[in-house]
Amino acid sequence: MLRVVLVDDERLARQGIRQLLGAHPEVAVVGEAGRVPAAVEVIRAEKPDAIFLDIQMPGASGFELLGHLEGAPKVVFVTAHSEHAARAFEVQAVDYLLKPVSPARLADTIKRLAAACQQTEDAVPYKTADRICLRTPQRTVITSLKDIVAMEAEGDFTRFHMAGEAPLLVCRSLRNCEETFPAPPFLRLSRSLIINLDKVTSLDHPSRDEARLTLAGMPQPLTLGRRALARLKKTPK
């Protein structure tokens, strides 16, 4: 069973999609929302497999909604505007439906969605030799995991520090990185920091309560508090 949430500021649009989905017993609509704040609450509460998401809504867009979610579900955009298609697939949308949606087109989307969800269930965490695609609205960087020096949380985003690259702010939570990146070499030292142990070059102690950690590929050392330092020292050599 695919559990989905409908997000659209037009009640009739949500009703139309719900009716079309009624022809698919393998899909259950578990929630609706007409604005981004309400959608965030519903999605966090229901943890659906996918969201059918409008783009242009009052207050905040569908793209902005995705920035508020950790481990975002699969996304199917449903919109009257074709000009956002390229950006939609940059955020790995499963499909992009133009209103009005036909039953045949929706049936094709359901097949894609089921396949995408199954692929996610079968997925395994990354390995150090793997390459990863880091996307922002402005650019996309493909890098090897071994070249990631450190990751710092910034709200619902993560700033990636990579050897030979400018820092990159990506719509991916630090928790997701911790759960899918190999450990070692990656080690979470605090709520806001993960480092690559293979990049550690030196550790200095200017005082009892803090230390300065130098990583290859970062121009400035990181300042570690007592707890982060203790976690680092517990790591097997």
**Chain CA centroid to CA 126, Å:** 15
Q: What is the pLDDT of residue 232?
A: 81
**What is the arithmetic mean of pLDDT over 156-160?**
87
Q: What is the pLDDT of residue 174?
A: 85
Give the confidence band of 173 by pLDDT, cuts at 50, 70, 90: confident
Rounded alpha-carbon distances, angstroms, from residue 235 to 52, 152, 157, 174: 43, 19, 26, 20
Give the strand order in the sheet containing 2-7. Answer: 27-33, 2-7, 50-53, 74-79, 95-98
11 pLDDT above the threshold of 70: yes
- Residue by residue, DSSP assigns the chain as -EEEEEE-S-HHHHHHHHHHHTT-TTEEEEEEESSHHHHHHHHHHH--SEEEE-S--SSS-HHHHHTT-SS--EEEEEES-GGGHHHHHHTT-SEEEESSPPHHHHHHHHHHHHHHHHHHHH-----TT-EEEEE-SS-EEEEEGGGEEEEEEETTEEEEEETTS--EEES--HHHHHHHS-TTTEEEEETTEEEEGGGEEEEEEEETTEEEEEETT-SSPEEE-HHHHHHHHHS--
**What is the arithmetic mean of pLDDT over 1-16?**
95
**Highest mean predicted confidence (pLDDT) among 27-31, 64-68, 92-96, 160-164:** 27-31
Give the confidence band of 32 by pLDDT, cuts at 50, 70, 90: very high
Q: What is the pLDDT of residue 137?
A: 67
Q: What is the mean pLDDT of the chain?
A: 87
Q: Which CATH superfamily is domain 2-122 in?
A: Response regulator (3.40.50.2300)
Contact 150, 215 (CB under 8 A): yes
5 pLDDT above the threshold of 90: yes
Contact 232, 214 (CB under 8 A): no
- Name the segment(s) of the chain with CATH classification 2.40.50.1020: 131-234
| pLDDT tens-digit series, residues 80-111 | 988 888 888 777 888 999 999 999 999 999 99
Q: Which two tokens stand for residue 121?
A: 């269930």
Q: What is the pLDDT of residue 105?
A: 95
- Name the segment(s) of the chain with CATH classification 3.40.50.2300: 2-122
234 pLDDT above the threshold of 80: no
Class of domain 131-234: mainly beta
Give the confidence band of 59 by pLDDT, cuts at 50, 70, 90: very high
pTM of the model: 0.54
129 pLDDT above the threshold of 80: no
CA–CA dist 109, 107 (Å, integer): 5
